[in-house]
Structure 1
Amino acid sequence: MTIDVSVERVIPLPPEQVAEYAMDWRPDAEWTQGIRTAELTREADAGGFGVDAEITRTAFFLGRRIDYVLRVAAYEPPHLLDMISVAGPMPMHVTYAFEPDARGTCARIRVRGGGGGFYRLASPLLARQVRSSLRKDLRDLEQRLIAR
């Protein structure tokens, strides 16, 4: 069984401002649930952050330490950041999308994944926990941005 969880929140700021912060890997631990560290471990072919760059994250989820690497598959600021895991305990696909809204920005995060062992057995619990974490992520993202 796999998970496919998507959440959205309207943030009362322009998409460029929301995306600039959310698409930057450096503050990941400030607003993303469970993330303890995030490090650019491979630059994009053109240098810096972009398509084919890799971010290595250390997280704690359901009481377990998870180390994984996300490769940037699409990078279209301020609208889209799409990343696919290339190392970690299970396949994962993470998409951040930002669209203009009459009230500011509609921010969306979608996580798809699956795997064997513990993650397969725990998929119903995992999906609920991911949804809860993503909702908190978007709430914290908004709070961080408003406070700036």
Structure 2
Amino acid sequence: MTIDVSAERVIPLPPERVAEYAMDWRHDAEWNQGIRVAELTREADAGGFGVGAEVTRTAYFLGRRIDYVMRVAAYEPPRLLDMISVAGPMPMHVTYAFERDPRGTLARIRVRGGEGGFYRLAAPLLARQVRSSLGKDLRDLEHRLSRQ
């Protein structure tokens, strides 16, 4: 994998509250940059959302529409949500991690992936854009939760 970008932010709320919202695919389009639609397209083997579940997302990046499917590889609320792409324009691995911090919750997002096709040509821009988007995602997550 050639792209490995992460961002973190302390959110002044308990990890359970932050993770409950951030790990719920129904909120993806509310706080994730570029995601316009997220839909649970395969339930976990035990039903609902969990390991094995798949979420199909529609996003826009660099002016292009991207449709991709993320499969849940690890789900340990309120600590960890780890997903890998099983369909889309490039391989991708996304990890959300939440841990208790004296000031609330240390929230981290990490995106790893390889550039396929068009994205291989735009690798430096891609990494910069993803880093910027992750920072905005965490800021938007904090603002949304603070208003609830």
TM-score normalised by length of structure 2: 0.98
SS at match of 1:27: helix
SS at match of 1:97: strand
Within a 5 Å distance, the mapping from 1:1-148 to structure 2 comes to 2-148=2-148
Q: Structure 1: where are the runs of 5+ without partners?
A: none
Q: Structure 2: where are the runs of 5+ without partners?
A: none
**May I ask how many residue pairs the two structures share in their alignment?**
148
1:39-77 Cα distance to aligned partner (Å, 9 max, x none): 000000000000000000000001000000000000000
1:88 maps to a residue whose letter is G
Q: 1:120 Cα shift? A: 1.0
Q: 1:117 Cα shift? A: 2.0
Distance in 2, Cα, partners of 1:12 & 1:104: 4
1:29 maps to a residue whose letter is A
Coordinate RMSD, CA, aligned:
0.8
Identical residues among aligned pairs (%): 86
1:8-61 Cα distance to aligned partner (Å, 9 max, x none): 000000000000000000011010000000000000000000000000000000
1:78-118 Cα distance to aligned partner (Å, 9 max, x none): 00000000000000000000000000000000000113321
